[in-house]
Amino acid sequence: MPFGLLKYGLSRRYPAKKHFGTPGDLKSSYDVVIIGGGGHGLAAAYYLAKEHGIRKIAVLEKAYLAGGNTARNTAVIRSNYLTEEGVTFYRESLKLFRDLSNEFDYNIMYSQRGQLTLAHTDAAVRSFRWRAEVNKHLGVQSELIGIDDILKLVPNLNVSADARYPILAGLWHADGATARHDAVAWGYAKGAAERGVEIHQLTEVTDIVSSGGRVTGVETNRGSVSCDVVLQAVAGASSLLAKKAGFRLPIVSYPLQAMVTQPLKPFINPHVSSTQLHCYVHQTARGEVVIGGGSDPYPLYSTRSTLDLKESLLGHAAEMFPFLAQVRLLRQWAGITDMTPDYSPIMGVSPLENYYLDAGWGTWGFKAIPICGKLMAQCIAERSAPALMQPFALSRFDRLEQVNEMGATAASH
């Protein structure tokens, strides 16, 4: 990648070429149809083409490329989860993220800056101590630290004993990182398109066609398409699309809001979150302060912003960093999170034969893009779920073998 940037900078003419080409008409049939042109769908298409030689693939996106939750998240990458299954899964995703820029020859602006989660109660401190030991046992950098070490990481943080919720300790996850969410999706789309994958925007799937308990095609606003395999990767709309396929998913969708301030000079490097305040803060490469927190308390399929959550999040952010009270808010947005009962995703087969699921990510979909795409591609190509994704099968709810990640983040759960 560095040599590509140098060549680009020294060129006398604009050397860039279109990443995705000009889309044509839909073909009548494909080997694989992927519903959802976000990070997960594009990653699965990329790995299917690159690692399994399956290239007759159509990615169908009802709006624009990566315009759903991929463009509506705060781009945090981490692996300090609660369960062995969760920690192992996200650990492998983080490893893939580190080399994506080189793999794509495309800068995803990956930045390893660490994540600091604040504890305000004795119960939180005990939980963090246990969580740090689980993480370290599984090869993830995670440790419980005191106030002195917290101030070394974030000197501007309010650690006063007179605060409404005084800080007692912190969980430091040195592996935590961020990346440019759009660039991750574009990198996967670019690599997939170069290998023959067709990416169709403004193409909405209106129905799933099946026969004898097996998927045979999809109906779209641009006509009918037959296929051997369908992968559903539509985030907040997962339960709605599954209903069209003829089955129900244990998913409820909630809006999740975030916002950024005007740019400031760099003052914070790690991602900082608070368990008690249900708020997180970090600063982008452009100097904007990203502020987010918990999901809205009611199900809704809407990406609107609300004043009450804005007031709540800004108040909590100002408790952690009081000087932010004088900073202007730049913009606010929302995504739709698809929440499962155990706060873990659903990956693999569905009740409809050859119809595969990539759903139930809640607030954690972005950080799982590389590993989920890789494993879903393997699952489709080999018709067998890899060991790493088996704990997240839909059938776990029938077996009562849930993977409980409730509380694995300070903000949303």
Classify burial at 261, counting beta carbons within 10 Å of its beta carbon; exposed 0-12, middle 13-18, buried 19 or more.
Answer: buried
Classify burial at 10, counting beta carbons within 10 Å of its beta carbon; exposed 0-12, middle 13-18, buried 19 or more.
Answer: exposed
Q: Tell me if 25-76+182-250+342-408 shares its fold with 109-175+253-339.
A: no
pTM of structure: 0.93
What SS3 string covers 35-93? Answer: ECCCHHHHHHHHHHHHHHCCCCEEEECCCCCCCCHHHCCCCEECCCCCCHHHHHHHHHH
Phi, psi of 195 (to 5 degrees): -105, 15
pLDDT of residue 9: 76
Look up the CATH superfamily of 109-175+253-339. Answer: D-Amino Acid Oxidase, subunit A, domain 2 (3.30.9.10)
pLDDT of residue 413: 43
Q: Which residues of the chain have pLDDT under 50?
A: 413
209-214: which pairs have CB atoms within 8 A and are 24 or more residues apart? Answer: 210/245, 210/246, 210/352, 210/355, 213/352, 213/353, 214/352, 214/353, 214/354
Strand order in the sheet with 177-178: 76-77, 177-178, 111-112
pLDDT of residue 16: 66
pLDDT of residue 83: 94
* Residue 365 near residue 235 (C-beta atoms within 8 A): yes
Residue 45: which of 187, 226, 223, 245 has the closest Cα?
187
* Residue 143 near residue 172 (C-beta atoms within 8 A): yes
pLDDT of residue 295: 85
State which H helix or E strand residue 358 sits in. Answer: strand 355-359
End-to-end CA distance of the chain: 38
* Residue 351 near residue 19 (C-beta atoms within 8 A): no
pLDDT of residue 185: 96
Look up the CATH superfamily of 25-76+182-250+342-408. Answer: FAD/NAD(P)-binding domain (3.50.50.60)
- Which amino acid, one-letter code, is at 157? L
How do residues 93-113 score in pLDDT, each as one tens digit?
A: 999 999 999 999 999 999 999
- Sorted by where each begins, the domain ranges of the chain are 25-76+182-250+342-408, 109-175+253-339
**Residue 288 DSSP class:** P
